[in-house]
């Protein structure tokens, strides 16, 4: 076959990681024809799987102990290559880190993210990518900043408790003692969330319910975030509350952009750069991507579409293997995938499909190779 096949799936959420999905796609292809060469390039969009994507791309894993969203000690890591670090918030402060799985909408904190960033700065990293999807907290990034040396106090001059519910008590933010390494570092936010911090499309209103907030708590958190934004503006002379992405990760986007003057970038585009997708596409004859669910939202910047856009720029056809496709025929045509294989077509029972995802992905890849990749060889 002329060229190689780039295998670049995202995770199948709740079922199989991006790296394991890539391995199963390669297995299926080579079951069809062992001579087909594949390059596995698992990806992410800034949320869960960001750390794994960086490690698969050759970054070094640096273990770190940090507080989880409720303060419990958590063993996590960041990925490093030279002075570049990649930090995944979901792995430190994500919903799966909540003790007993109990949601804590008012008290969950982003402090652990700041702890890992501080460690990366201590280690000499000077460019830090923060993948900030999948957080459990809505604390406006206050915990994140406090772990980096900031102080947030109440009217009595005492530190306020962690969590978004306590932000209404804040009377002053002091950034005098921020980690000195921040003065020499570039912070980049990787996310595909473009919500502002407050209001009907803000962090609390849109994402608070997913983190366990009742309607009353959503209103409480939104008011607390607005109060927090006022305190941050007073301390820094800057206010990014209305910037696209300020509402990412419960307001970590706002804190990083306002206090650290972080750059905000599309999560999938940044990850594709980190894994050198364009280099892998040189000389490729096909790309296979995928994720758990392909739907209307996927057409607006999700990982598989990002892969397809890069492949199209290299004039390489792109195929998708997904858990389920909810695209209409018109949306499927607009996606411009050469073909879409859905695991649901092989196993309609969702529970069994998720449990057997590895074998189903390999089987779909084997059929895809027989139907399309061998045809490329004959053309």
The percent of residues in the chain predicted with pLDDT above 70, rounded, is 98
User: Cα-flanking dihedrals φ and ψ of residue 140, to 5°?
Assistant: 65, 15
In the chain, beta strands by DSSP E: 4-9, 38-40, 60-67, 73-81, 84-88, 127-131, 151-153, 172-174, 186-190, 263-265, 284-294, 318-325, 339-342
Q: Which two tokens stand for residue 245?
A: 């992405």
Q: Measured between alpha carbons, how far is 362 from 356 in angstroms, rounded to an integer?
A: 10
Q: How far is CA 1 from CA 121, 141, 205, 369, in A?
A: 46, 51, 52, 11
Residue ranges and CATH numbers for the domains of the chain are: 4-43+276-378 (3.40.50.10350), 50-268 (3.90.1510.10)
312 CB burial (10 A radius; 0-12, 13-18, 19+): middle
pTM: 0.93
Segments in the chain below pLDDT 70: 1, 301, 377-379
Query: Alpha helices of 82-214 — where are they, by DSSP H?
Result: 89-93, 111-122, 142-147, 203-207
pLDDT value, residue 378 = 52
* Residue 248: predicted pLDDT: 96
Q: Give the pLDDT confidence score for residue 377 in this predicted structure.
A: 61
CB 270 within 8 A of CB 46: yes
| pLDDT at residue 99 in the model | 87
């Amino acid at each position: 076959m002329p060229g190689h096949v780039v295998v670049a799936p995202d995770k199948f959420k709740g079922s199989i990681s991006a790296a394991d999905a890539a391995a199963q796609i390669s297995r299926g292809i080579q079951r069809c024809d062992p001579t087909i060469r594949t390059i596995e390039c698992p990806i992410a969009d800034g949320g869960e799987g960001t750390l794994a994507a960086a490690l698969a791309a050759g970054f070094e894993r640096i273990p770190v102990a940090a507080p989880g969203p409720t303060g419990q000690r958590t063993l996590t890591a960041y990925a490093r290559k030279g002075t570049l670090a990649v930090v995944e918030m979901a792995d430190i402060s994500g919903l799966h880190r909540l003790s007993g799985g109990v949601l804590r909408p008012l008290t969950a904190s982003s402090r652990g993210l700041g702890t890992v960033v501080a460690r990366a700065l201590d280690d000499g990293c000077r460019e830090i990518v923060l993948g900030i999807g999948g957080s459990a907290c809505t604390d406006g990034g206050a915990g994140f900043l406090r772990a980096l040396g900031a102080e947030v106090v109440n009217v009595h001059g005492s530190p306020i408790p962690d969590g978004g519910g306590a932000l209404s008590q804040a009377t002053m933010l002091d950034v005098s003692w921020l980690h000195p390494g921040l003065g020499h570092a570039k912070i980049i936010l990787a996310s595909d969330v473009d919500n502002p911090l407050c209001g009907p499309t803000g962090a609390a209103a849109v994402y608070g319910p997913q983190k366990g907030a009742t309607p009353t708590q959503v209103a409480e958190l939104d008011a607390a975030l607005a109060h927090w934004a006022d305190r941050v503006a007073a301390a820094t002379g800057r206010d990014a509350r209305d910037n696209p992405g300020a509402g990412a990760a419960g307001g970590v986007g706002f804190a990083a952009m306002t206090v650290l003057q972080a750059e905000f970038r599309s999560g999938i585009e940044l990850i594709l750069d980190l894994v050198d997708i364009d280099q892998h596409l040189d000389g490729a004859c096909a790309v296979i991507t995928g994720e758990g669910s392909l739907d209307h939202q996927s057409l607006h910047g999700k990982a598989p579409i990002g892969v397809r856009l890069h492949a199209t720029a290299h004039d390489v056809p792109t195929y998708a293997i997904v858990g389920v496709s909810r695209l209409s025929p018109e949306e499927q045509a607009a996606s411009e995938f050469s073909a879409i294989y859905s695991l649901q077509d092989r196993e309609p029972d969702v529970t069994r499909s998720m449990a057997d995802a590895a074998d189903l992905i390999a089987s779909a890849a084997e059929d895809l190779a027989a139907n399309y990749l061998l045809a490329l060889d004959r053309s």
